[in-house]
Amino acid sequence: MEAVFSKEIQAGLDAARIAGLRKASRLRIDANGEIYRVLRMWKTGFAVVAEDTPQLRGLVDLYDGANHLFQCLIVAGDEEAGEMQYEFKRATAVAYAAALDFEKPVDAPVGLISDGR
């Protein structure tokens, strides 16, 4: 059996669900210097509040708190229940060191200890 609610009740339920997601999520995106809260994220995309966020497209940075997770190329998807959903065309994990172009030996020294004389 499926419950059917009036438009006002459905809008109130959607607003309460979005408010709960806002409090629970630490994720955010940085698009051209503007910060927007991410409500939820899945393997191929993420969702933001539709009324607070302009139509986004292109390169954005995805953060979890202060940790830079991904640099993403996005396209707009569907708007549903107050959420604007975006899909990743590319999501590249952020690396904090340059990629090595050689094999690093397992027993390589970590540092050089000098005599100091």
Tens of pLDDT, residues 29-88: 999 899 998 988 899 999 998 888 888 889 999 998 888 999 999 998 888 878 899 999
**Tokens at residue 112, please?**
């050089």
Residue 20's pLDDT band, with cuts at 50, 70 and 90, is low
**Taking the model in full, what pTM does it have?**
0.67
Inside any domain, residue 108? no
Domain count of the fold of the chain: 1
**Tokens at residue 107, please?**
């027993």
Inside any domain, residue 107? no
Is 51 strand, coil or helix? coil
Q: Evaluate whether 92 touches 53 at the Cβ level (below 8 Å).
A: no
Which CATH number covers residue 34?
2.40.10.430
How big is the CA angle at 54 (ends 48 and 59), to the nearest 5 degrees? Answer: 80
Domain that holds residue 29: 7-93
Inside any domain, residue 49? yes
Question: What pLDDT does residue 111 have?
Answer: 81
Sole residue written with tokens 């607003």: 15
